[in-house]
Amino acid sequence: MNTTNLTIKPTMRIQAFYLFFIMNSIQTGSGIMGVPRYIFMEARQDAWISVLIAGLLVHLVMAAMFAIMNHYENTDVLGVQTDLFGKWIAKLLGTIYIIYFFFVLLSVTMDYIQVVQTFIFPRMSAWVLSLVLILLIVYAVMSGLRVAVGITFIFFFLSLWLLIFLYKSIAYMEITHFQPLLEASPSELLRGARHTSYSYLGIEILFFIYPFISNKEKAKLPAHLGLALTTFFILLVTVISIGYFSPGELPEQVWPVLVLFKIVEYSVIGRFDVLVVTEWMMVILPNMILLTWIITYITKRLYHVQQRKVLYVVAVLLLIGAGITKHEYFILQIIDTVAATGFWVAFVYPLVLLPLVWMKSKWKRRKRGGAKT
């Protein structure tokens, strides 16, 4: 904590181009299953404009994050905070990050369990499902960031094929659902954009993963592309959902994206939605693994606790948290809270941090200049 700059062993570094997959995987998780509904409730048939607005804003936030990180040689946000606010406030802020990430993780887990219980096993215990997920997470995080990134990379391709099967719902789309254009007021559009925040969460990972990147000069492009892909995914499912569902129908769907797959049927596979829900495990696992890794990493950085021990504690807490919740409204409440907090932590905080970093460096320079003269 004393030194701002981190030295990462060469074997632990990752190539910049994996940032594309990291950014995309951590954002595409449980949020995207339900996001069209929330945006639609605010911006109606112009929801897709909201998605574009949100995408642009998130790109700005990411640019701000890069600006902050580039100010330092090789550090993460914890180092930045120590540099700006001193040791104790930085520790407090870091702890907030830990708690925040834990709740994001919890909400993802609970949401997926909820989906499985609704679509496949209505009577299956949440304990079993969360145990299965947590064992996988523990097994993966045990080998550190390199393996976590590998999982992200491979699972990205293994779940990408799901997109192909949206073709059938595209065929069912009605153009009239998008008309009349530009009905929504700017404030409605912005509110719609804000509702995408849960799906864009995870961008903060850049703050922590940045020191691990070996070729930093090339980091910006893949990260922004990954973000653009997320925007594209959200845009795609939003557009298809608006076209596919009637305006009266969409606000009633809890997971409109999964329902889109309900009309896919083949002579070999009778039902596709079951497969999609199962396959979704590959979409959320990288998400959960990266989040868990961040939690263990921050704790190690802040409190010098062994990552392994933190991992066990997180696993047990997650198991208890996901196991005992049963009620849908409670889960929705947690997700809403996480989404609201995430909006401030992930998107507003970097924008606040950036001017502070600028001010500090200016002040430093003036001080140094003053000392010289």
Partner 1 sequence: MKKRGMRRSNSKELLPSSIENLKTKLQEAMHNNPDFQIRDFEIGGQRVLVFYISIIVKKQQLNDNILAPLLKGDKQWTTQKLINALPLGNNVAQTKLNEVVDALVQGSVGIYIEKESELITYPIPDQEKRSVDKSDKESTVLGPQDAFTESLTTNLNMIRWRMNTGDLVTEKLLIGERVPTEIRLVYLKNLANKEDVQTMRQRLQDLVVDRIEDATPLTYYIEDSSTSIFPQFYQTELPSRFSYSLSMGRVGVLVDKSPTGIIAPTSLFSFFESTEDVFMRWNVGSFIRILRFFALIISAMLTPAYVAALTFHYEVIPTPLLTTLGASRAAVPFPPVFEALLLELLIELLREAGARLPTKVGQTIGIVGGIVIGQAAVAAGLTSNILIIVVAISALASFTAPSYLIGSTIRVIRFPLIILSGFLGLIGIMASICFLIIHLLKVTSLGRPYLLPIYPFVGKDFSKTFYRLPYYFNLKRSFSYKPQDMIRYPKKKARKMKDIDD
Partner 2 sequence: MKRLIFVCFCLLLSAGCAPTYPIERLGIINTIGIDSDSQDSQALNATYVYFQFDPNAKNINEIVSSKAKTLKGTREKANVKSNFQLVPGKLRVLMMGRPLAEKGVASILDTLVRDAKITDTMYLAVADSAAGNVLSEVFQRSTTNVGTHLYQLIDTNVDQEILIRTTLRDFMHKYYDIGNDPVLPLISVVEHMPSIERMALFRDETYAGDISVEEGFFIKLLSGRYQAGRLELSLPIDEFENIRQKDTDQREEDSLFLSLSDLRSHNSIKLVSKKEVRFQSDIKVQARIMEISEQLELDKEEVVKKLEKVIQKDMERQINQLLDKFRELKVDPIGFGSIYNAKHPITQEEWRKLLSEMKLDLNLNVNIIRQGIID
Residues within the interface to partner 2 (CB under 8 A): 118-119, 121, 123-125, 127-128, 131, 135, 172, 174-177, 179-180, 183, 245-249, 259, 262-263, 265, 270-271, 273, 312
Rounded to the nearest whole angstrom, what is the least distance from the CB of residue 261 to partner 2 in the complex? Answer: 10
Size of the site for partner 1 (CB under 8 A): 33
Tokens of 215: 């070729």
* Separation CA 92–CA 90 (nearest Å): 5
User: Using CB under 8 A as the criterion, what x/- string covers residues 130-159 for binding partner 1?
Assistant: --xx--x--xx--x---x--xx-xxx--x-
Q: Does 214 bind partner 1 (CB under 8 A)?
A: no
Residue 369: name its binding partner from partner 1, partner 2, none (Cβ under 5 to 8 Å by kind): none
Rounded to the nearest whole angstrom, what is the least distance from the CB of residue 234 to partner 1 in the complex? Answer: 24
Q: Does 307 bind partner 1 (CB under 8 A)?
A: no
Q: Does 161 bind partner 1 (CB under 8 A)?
A: no
Residue 147: name its binding partner from partner 1, partner 2, none (Cβ under 5 to 8 Å by kind): partner 1
> Packing angle between helix 77-85 and helix 47-70, nearest 10 degrees?
70
Rounded to the nearest whole angstrom, what is the least distance from the CB of residue 348 to partner 1 in the complex? Answer: 35
**Which residues is 144 bridged to in the sheet?**
none
* Separation CA 155–CA 218 (nearest Å): 23
Rounded to the nearest whole angstrom, what is the least distance from the CB of residue 244 to partner 1 in the complex? Answer: 21
What residues contact 327, with CB distance under 8 A and at least 6 apart? none
Q: With beta carbons less than 8 A apart as the criterion, state whether 109 and 133 touch.
A: yes
Q: Does 10 bind partner 1 (CB under 8 A)?
A: no
Among 3, 179, 267, 373, binds partner 1 (CB under 8 A): 267
Rounded to the nearest whole angstrom, what is the least distance from the CB of residue 249 to partner 2 in the complex? Answer: 4
Among 52, 190, 228, 275, binds partner 1 (CB under 8 A): 275
Q: With beta carbons less than 8 A apart as the criterion, state whether 275 and 130 touch.
A: no
The residue range among 38-46, 95-103, 276-284, 334-342 that interacts with partner 1, by the rule CB under 8 A, is 276-284
Q: Is 179 helix (H, G, I), strand (E, B) or coil?
A: coil
Q: Does 16 bind partner 1 (CB under 8 A)?
A: no
**Which residues is 164 bridged to in the sheet?**
none
Rounded to the nearest whole angstrom, what is the least distance from the CB of residue 179 to partner 2 in the complex? Answer: 3
What residues contact 352, with CB distance under 8 A and at least 6 apart? none
Radius of gyration (C-alpha) of the chain in whole angstroms: 21
Q: How many CA atoms lie within 13 A of 140 on its CB side?
A: 25
Number of other residues whose CB lies within 10 A of the CB of residue 3: 9
Q: Does 121 bind partner 1 (CB under 8 A)?
A: yes
Rounded to the nearest whole angstrom, what is the least distance from the CB of residue 109 to partner 1 in the complex? Answer: 14
* Separation CA 181–CA 186 (nearest Å): 13
The DSSP call for residue 262 is G
In the block, residue with structure tokens 């996901």? 322
Q: Is 14 helix (H, G, I), strand (E, B) or coil?
A: strand
Binding residues vs partner 1 (CB under 8 A): 15, 17, 116, 120-121, 128-129, 132-133, 136, 139-140, 143, 147, 150-151, 153-155, 158, 266-271, 274-275, 278-279, 281-282, 285
